[in-house]
Structure 1
Amino acid sequence: MSNRVDVAVMIGTGVPQGLRATGQKVCWVVLVNGEQRGTAFSNRIEAEECRAAWLAQLSANACAMQVRAQRA
C-alpha cells in the first residue's frame, strides 16, 4: 500500500485554541493518508521536518515488510 504524507495549513478557527491564545492565526499539520497525525505546528519548517520523519518511518516499515516476505 502506498502512503501519502502531506503538510496542510489551517487558518482561523481551525487553529488550536492554545496557538490562537498566543496570537497565531495559522498553523501547519501533517496528514498521513488524509488523516491528521500529531500536533499542530506554528511554522511550516517544523511541519516539513515532521513530514520527513513520517516518510522515513513509513519507508523503513515497507522495507521491513519486504524482508519478512522474502524470508517466508
Structure 2
Amino acid sequence: MQNKVDVAVMIGSGVPPSLRALGQNACWVVLVNGEPRGTAFASRDEAQACRAAWQALLRLEQSGSLH
C-alpha cells in the first residue's frame, strides 16, 4: 500500500488554543493518509521536517526493515 504524507495549513479557529494564545493565526499539521499525526506546528518548516521523518519511517516499514 502506498502511503500519502502531506502538510496542511489550519487557519483561524482550526489553530489550537495554545498557539492562538501565542498570537498564531495559522499552523501546519502533518497528515498520513488523510489522518493528522503528531502536533500542530507553528512553522511550515517544522511541519516539513516532520513530514520527511514520516516518509522515511513509512519507507522502512514498506521495505520490511522494521520487522
Q: TM-score, normalised by structure 2?
A: 0.95
Structure 2, unaligned runs of 5 or more: none
Report how far residue 51 of structure 1 moved: 0.1
Cα distance in 2 for residues equivalent to 1:36 and 1:64: 24
- Which has more radius of gyration? 1
Paired position in structure 2 for 1:46: 46
Cα distance in 1 for residues equivalent to 2:50 and 2:13: 23
The AA in structure 2 aligned to 1:41 is F
Q: Which has the higher helix share?
A: 1
Q: TM-score, normalised by structure 1?
A: 0.89
**1:1-54 Cα distance to aligned partner (Å, 9 max, x none):** 110000000000000000000000000000000000000000000000000000
Cα distance in 2 for residues equivalent to 1:44 and 1:24: 13
Aligned residues: 66
Deviating 4+ runs (over 4 angstroms): none
Cα distance in 2 for residues equivalent to 1:2 and 1:37: 17
**Identity across aligned pairs (percent)?**
64
Cα RMSD of the aligned pairs, angstroms, is: 1.2
Cα distance in 1 for residues equivalent to 2:46 and 2:19: 15
Paired position in structure 1 for 2:31: 31
